[in-house]
Amino acid sequence: MKKRFILAAVIVAVCVTAGCSLKEQVPENTKESEESRRETKAPTTEIPTTKDTQQTTEAETPEAEEEPGVKIAIATDMHYLARDLTDFQKSFQYTVDHGDGKVMQYVWEITDAFIEEVKEERPDLVILSGDLTYNGEKESHEEFASKLYEIEEAGIPVIVIPGNHDINNQLAARFAGDTVEKAESITSQEFEEIYEDFGYNEAVSRDTASLSYVYQINDTTRAFMLDSCQYEPKNLVGGMIKDDTYDWIEEQMEEAHELGMQVLPVSHHNLLDESEVYLQDCTIEHSEQLIDQLESWEVPLYLSGHLHVQHYMKSAKDSGIDEIVTSSLATPPCQYGVLEYKKDGGFRYHTKALDMKAWAEKTGNRDKNLLNFDTYGKQFLSKVFYNQAQDEFDRRDVLKNLTKYQRDQMAKVYAELNVACTSGKVYSIRDKVMQKAGYGMWLEEGYQSILSEYVQWITSDGTKDYNLLDKE
């Protein structure tokens, strides 16, 4: 049923052009070890079905019972920072105001609110797809992992993979006064140890070449948690899948098919070119190999993060794979995804913004920003993106001759579009914004800037609501 002959041809072609190694035989002791783990650690979840308790008359035809499914909460790019790593002074505040939109000053409250909402939402599983910490600080990892136990203690399993910020990061930071000091980062082995109870100990299979693993979600579905990060010998922003990992993926896909399992792959970096402007560091390097591999097994859905933008798209083939990119939990509107995934591959995905006001009221927090977080978050994000544009004007010689009025109008348009893009709702404002003087100035005066390319991509791409995707 699966198109194995297509995959074989693809692998041979890729090997010739990209130098990838062909699949090696798995040693017998490795196979036995994996079989043992499957027998002892593979969790099974019985999905309750609703049955009509009334008697059926002879004239009635009972409806077919729905296929069992699973409900998953998906969050990414939390960028948690341990409280002791900042004194909230000048260096920290500047980083917040001139960063990429993360509400770092409230990352602790956001994390706690997410945990409480997940406990109330009661999904079958929580998936965290990387960038768990600000810049990979060991203290941040340890503090964040300790919070995840609160979810598991409520009977909801959590599984994680690393993001490009999480391991061997030379930018691991401590904020003190007007300086940023170096903090201790972690190795890949330490990542596995810190998060051993969040997927790694329960894995039915582990990739020896990376931090990838397979997790049994329920009797019919497996999550392929794919480590797309590059952190050895040094940390890099961009993502790639190792040659040996491709071999492992193929072996696991074949096993899942033999067992009749549906497969849900997850990585930090993007499988598809979700952003036409920021490709090099966002899309997995040579991702066409992974696309072909997954499509040959008719995998319907792929989950990722990294972009900090709510988005989705489909691969070129009509019957290809859908990728959903969930936006950063740390960036307003601070939302996460809820996926209802069916055994037959059908799914429904929607986002849910954290209700920070409700959390603040429930916990007795009287911070006015939290009590009015919807307004505060938009204003904060708009300020950050306005500053991004102004910083670009200062850096680029070709833009330094812009008048103060031009800079202000262009920065306002950039901020307005970027705020909507982050939440996946450009469609609601694009026509209005494209009529503004500042938008025309980006096309006429700012065309040599990458921000001008980004502004144009946002408006050309933002024709739909990226917060909902429903596939039968």
> 264 by DSSP, 3-state: which?
strand
Give me the domains of the chain, ranges plus CATH numbers: 69-360 (3.60.21.10), 379-461 (1.10.246)
Render 310-326 in DSSP notation, one character per residue. Answer: -EEEE-SSTTS-EEEEP
At 50, is the secondary structure helix, strand, or coil? coil
Please report which confidence band the pLDDT of residue 357 belongs to, taking 50, 70 and 90 as the band edges.
very high
pLDDT at 46: 39
Contacts of 363-371 with CB under 8 Å at 24 or more apart are 363/112, 365/109, 367/109, 369/106, 370/106, 370/109
Mean pLDDT along residues 176-198: 98
Averaged over 86-109, what is the pLDDT? 96
Give the helix/strand (H/E) hosting 342: strand 335-342
Instruction: Provide mean pLDDT across the span 161-166.
Output: 98
Work out the pLDDT band at 447, boundaries 50, 70, 90. confident
The pLDDT of residue 67: 52
End-to-end CA distance of the chain: 20
| pLDDT at residue 68, as a whole number | 57
What is the pLDDT at residue 10? 32
- pLDDT beyond 90 at 2: no
pTM for the whole structure: 0.85
pLDDT band at 198 (very low <50, low <70, confident <90, very high): very high
User: pLDDT at residue 209 above 50?
Assistant: yes
pLDDT, residue 161, reads 98
**How would DSSP label each residue in 192-237?**
HHHTIIIIITT-SEE-TTSS-EEEE-SSSEEEEEE--B--SSS--S
If you average pLDDT over each of 41-45, 52-56, 337-341, 400-404, which comes out highest?
A: 337-341
pLDDT at 28: 38
Q: What is the pLDDT of residues 274-293, one digit of tens each?
A: 988 876 789 999 999 999 99
| Residue 265 structure tokens | 């792959």
Cα–Cα distance between 390 and 256 in angstroms, integer?
Answer: 51
pLDDT greater than 60 at residue 64: no
> Do the Cβ atoms of 114 and 121 come closer than 8 Å?
no
